[in-house]
Chain A
Amino acid sequence: MMPSIRIALMSIKLVMRTKVALFFTFLFPLIFLFVYSGIFARGNPEAVVYMFGPVVTLNIMGSGFFGLGLQSVMQRERGSLRRYRLAPIGPGSMVLSSLLANYLLELPTIGLLLFCAMGFFHMPLQINLLTLLILVTVGTFAFAGFGLTIASVANTMQEAQVYNNVAWFTLLFLSGVTVPLPMLPQWIQRFAAFLPATYMVTSFQAIMVGGQSLFDHRAELLVLILSGTSGLLFAWKLFRWEKEEKISTRGKLLSITFIVPFLVMGIWMNERGNLAATWRGTFSLMSHPHLGPGQHDSPVDGIMLNDFESADEPEVLLKTWQVSTGANAGGRSLGEFEVITPGAAGTGHALRFKGFVESTPGFDRGFVTARYPFTLPDGAPSLRGIQFEVRGDTRLFQVKFMPSDPTLPTPTLTFIPDSEWQGVRLPAAWIATSNPSSHKNVLVLEFRVEGPPGAFQLDIDEIRFY
């Protein structure tokens, strides 16, 4: 262990003496932070919180691939490993020292990123420092494994660069590191579930933006630890001191097993079913501060209107949600509510509005309406509309956001949901001028299914102002 520590400390000292290495270790990540926060997030602190995870992931990826992976191959090609080989130290010491140096260089960089994000962009610290440390540690370990595996498999620098670039650009563009996942096509989002950078980015965002805990992302962390461990083992078993030594075909085939944890994780994430909605949920939270405990279960206090997470939700439902059917149909249409599990965006529960549409005599159509009255929360001047997550059968639904003042216009939207959760936004500029203190200021959110006779089902969750 001691030789590893000594080599690692020497490696850090050497980085500190090399201008190019210093630039790529400390300054380059800051450039990304300023680009992401200043240009993509436009300096909005809540958006900077969302961008912080991708910036950290990008930095960790870079140090794993180019700092660790390419350095290992370069040292081998340059012949500087040969001198170490004459000393009584083995491949394990060399691999561990690389890992350690990479990690010890990563920590101050992340600290610097955090300091700048908070200092220059007023990013709220929506993550426990211990949680951040654990995420960074696991991520650094995982991508070090990735870089070391590539270094083990590549025979030359050129070969390593080809492997690195293929992995780098795939992770860069398809895992939410540069383009937010909800902005990518559905099939790419499904593919993203197979990429380790996705686990880092989405865990960061869910914890920092969505207020989730590390435990909620234990599967992702486990896969990252597994990939780091297997990378370390490959690097140790396939370690080569000399550039003349070439990796055997058996060794190359063995290294392919490195992707097994990602395959399993990707299949599992896709099978869970609400992948895209989960990511979209975090994305939609980007412009809103996370609510503390106790805030979310009140329909009128705060930004969250209703997320159906309260323990006494079934009773509340009966009091607050109302069903009405077409009077001309003699009340033959049916509508009812129930609380279902799980909800959108990885939450515990959602509301299910389901029933049967019966046609009005003499017509071939009918309707059922669900109404949700509420009063305007404080902070209305900064609000611009209402949003929610929906999924359901592919019938035509309509949603209205009705003001208390009948002279004001009623924003209305017609939509056809599908089996995946998706966000719907209903802009209502008059919220900003409404008076929240008035008891008469009761607003109504109305969902309506209208059409030919038949069953219907609409799941609703995460109703909030934006």
Chain B
Amino acid sequence: MSNEANSAVVRVEGLRKSYGDLAALRGITFEIKAGEVFGLLGPNGAGKTTTIEILEGLRQPDGGVVTVCGMNPGREQAALKERIGAQLQATVLPDKIRVEEALALFASFYRESASIEILLEQFGLAEKRRTFFEKLSGGQKQRLALALAMVNNPELVLLDEPTVGLDAQLRRDIYALIERFREERRTTLLTTHYIEEAERLCDRVAIIDHGQVIALGTPRELVLRSGKGTRIEVSLAKPVSPDRLKQLDAVSDCLEVDGRYILHAQPTALAVAALVRFLEAEGNALLDLHIAQPTLEDVFVEMTGRRMDDQ
């Protein structure tokens, strides 16, 4: 798929962008290697869309260096657009355009284009080929948006929140399509604020918050790097200081998030036993308890003190 199998398809170094007084990006740096599925994970407003739109050439950065497929997106837009495929967070097409017409129209803008028939089949739109855009469901519209991103058979695919607003089944359908990109060794950058999506789809993830990359690596590396053991999430009848919970046996860390307490512990059984004893002694009660392996959410919470879905 790519001629640059061993080199970076995307290079971003010290990327900065402001909207008036608001600094959207404060020096972001990362690289995406050929054939890699790379995720930009972060809450809304973190700077993900601004980053991807700079890579697409839709916005001009205020500072930093950006190279996409060896080109400067700001200066070599026409040539770059021939080599990338992009899906916007919200794709709006004319109401009365048919699915196959949209694909044919956009394919006609490129020097090289994929087969419309194959795209219709691959993206599950063959039965809807004659349907107007206005009559498509949310999931079908999103699949059409993805198919449009593929009309030029791109070597780099940029997907901005491809599953936002879709139900679980539709999200799984989209995941399957993105996993096919990986099988095809097609370099892919996707932005998301869904932990599950990043963990499942991405080879490497950059976690972004307030316009900065706060963690970068494979999902497993990031979780291991946090090194805080099993994640124990509890709800208590009475509030208690996280510092006191942190003193319990086997507990390495405790944070209060939205009235719930997130503890990281190793070994787990020892920590749970210590917690139960502590609550009995305090006259407190355990309302709810979840034990899970740590996730990227834990990494985010650890680094920011907030959940991913907090605004």
Inter-chain contact B108/A3, CB cutoff 8 Å: yes
Inter-chain contact A88/B101, CB cutoff 8 Å: no
Q: How far is the CB of B266 from chain A (nearest CB, A)?
A: 47
Inter-chain contact B101/A86, CB cutoff 8 Å: no
Which of A6-14, A49-57, A129-137, A174-182 forms contacts with chain B?
A6-14
User: Which chain B residues numbered 70 to 107 have a C-beta less than 8 Å away from chain A?
Assistant: 77-79, 81-82, 86, 88, 90-97, 101, 105-106
Which chain A residue lies CB-closest to B82? A88
Q: Which of B82, B93, B110 is in CB contact (< 8 Å) with A80?
A: B93
Q: How far is the CB of A276 from chain B (nearest CB, A)?
A: 47
What sequence of 0s and 1s flags, for each residue 239-252 of chain A, a beta carbon within 8 Å of any chain B beta carbon?
00100000000000
Contacts of A90 on B, CB cut-off 8 Å? Answer: 78
Contacts of B56 on A, CB cut-off 8 Å? Answer: 86
A256 at interface by CB-CB < 8 Å: no
Inter-chain contact B109/A3, CB cutoff 8 Å: yes
Contacts of B93 on A, CB cut-off 8 Å? Answer: 80, 83
B240 at interface by CB-CB < 8 Å: no
Inter-chain contact A82/B101, CB cutoff 8 Å: no
Inter-chain contact A18/B109, CB cutoff 8 Å: no
Which chain B residue lies CB-closest to A82? B88
Inter-chain contact A80/B92, CB cutoff 8 Å: yes
What sequence of 0s and 1s flags, for each residue 1-29 of chain A, a beta carbon within 8 Å of any chain B beta carbon?
01100110010011001100000000000
Contacts of B82 on A, CB cut-off 8 Å? Answer: 88
- Asked whether A14 and B92 contact (CB < 8 A) given A85-B58, A86-B86, A87-B109, the answer is no
Contacts of B101 on A, CB cut-off 8 Å? Answer: 10, 13
B148 at interface by CB-CB < 8 Å: yes
Q: How far is the CB of A102 from chain B (nearest CB, A)?
A: 16
Contacts of B81 on A, CB cut-off 8 Å? Answer: 86-88
Contacts of A13 on B, CB cut-off 8 Å? Answer: 101
A79 at interface by CB-CB < 8 Å: yes
Which chain B residue lies CB-closest to A241? B58
Contacts of B77 on A, CB cut-off 8 Å? Answer: 88
Which chain B residue lies CB-closest to A86? B86
In the bound complex, CA of A88 to CA of B105 (Å): 12
Inter-chain contact A10/B88, CB cutoff 8 Å: no
Q: How far is the CB of A153 from chain B (nearest CB, A)?
A: 23
Contacts of A83 on B, CB cut-off 8 Å? Answer: 88, 91-93, 106, 148
A31 at interface by CB-CB < 8 Å: no
What sequence of 0s and 1s flags, for each residue 65-93 of chain A, a beta carbon within 8 Å of any chain B beta carbon?
00000000000001110110111111000
Q: Which of A17, A79, A88 is in CB contact (< 8 Å) with B96?
A: A17
Max chain B C-beta neighbours (<10 A), residue from A18, A80, A86: A86
Contacts of A241 on B, CB cut-off 8 Å? Answer: 58
- Interface residues contributed by chain B, number (CB under 8 Å): 25
In the bound complex, CA of A80 to CA of B148 (Å): 14
Q: How far is the CB of A100 from chain B (nearest CB, A)?
A: 15
Inter-chain contact B105/A89, CB cutoff 8 Å: no
In the bound complex, CA of A87 to CA of B93 (Å): 14
Q: How far is the CB of A17 from chain B (nearest CB, A)?
A: 4
Q: Which of A2, A18, A82, A86 is in CB contact (< 8 Å) with B108?
A: A2
- Asked whether A18 and B78 contact (CB < 8 A) given A83-B88, A86-B56, A86-B86, the answer is no
In the bound complex, CA of A3 to CA of B105 (Å): 9
Which chain B residue lies CB-closest to A5? B108
Contacts of B95 on A, CB cut-off 8 Å? Answer: 18
Contacts of A2 on B, CB cut-off 8 Å? Answer: 108
Contacts of A89 on B, CB cut-off 8 Å? Answer: 109
- Asked whether A86 and B78 contact (CB < 8 A) given A10-B101, A80-B93, the answer is no
Q: Which of B105, B110, B132 is in CB contact (< 8 Å) with A10?
A: B105
What sequence of 0s and 1s flags, for each residue 212-243 of chain B, a beta carbon within 8 Å of any chain A beta carbon?
00000000000000000000000000000000
Inter-chain contact B92/A6, CB cutoff 8 Å: no
Which chain B residue lies CB-closest to A75? B94
Inter-chain contact A6/B110, CB cutoff 8 Å: no
Inter-chain contact A6/B105, CB cutoff 8 Å: yes
- Asked whether A14 and B96 contact (CB < 8 A) given A79-B90, A86-B88, the answer is yes
Contacts of A10 on B, CB cut-off 8 Å? Answer: 94, 97, 101, 105
Inter-chain contact B92/A18, CB cutoff 8 Å: no
Contacts of A80 on B, CB cut-off 8 Å? Answer: 92-94
Q: Which of A3, A14, A87 is in CB contact (< 8 Å) with B94?
A: A14
In the bound complex, CA of A85 to CA of B53 (Å): 11
In the bound complex, CA of A207 to CA of B256 (Å): 84
Q: Which 9 A-B pairs have the closest CB atoms?
A: A88-B81, A17-B96, A87-B109, A79-B92, A80-B92, A86-B86, A88-B78, A14-B96, A14-B94
Kindly list 9 other residue pairs between chains A and B, CB separation below 8 angstroms, not including A6-B109, A18-B95: A2-B108, A3-B108, A10-B97, A10-B101, A80-B93, A83-B92, A83-B93, A88-B79, A90-B78
Q: Which chain A residues have a beta carbon within 8 Å of chain B's beta carbons?
A: 2-3, 6-7, 10, 13-14, 17-18, 78-80, 82-83, 85-90, 241
Q: Which chain B residues have a beta carbon within 8 Å of chain A's beta carbons?
A: 56, 58, 77-79, 81-82, 86, 88, 90-97, 101, 105-106, 108-110, 132, 148
Can you give 7 contacting A-B residue pairs, CB < 8 Å?
A6-B108, A7-B105, A82-B91, A83-B106, A86-B86, A88-B78, A88-B82
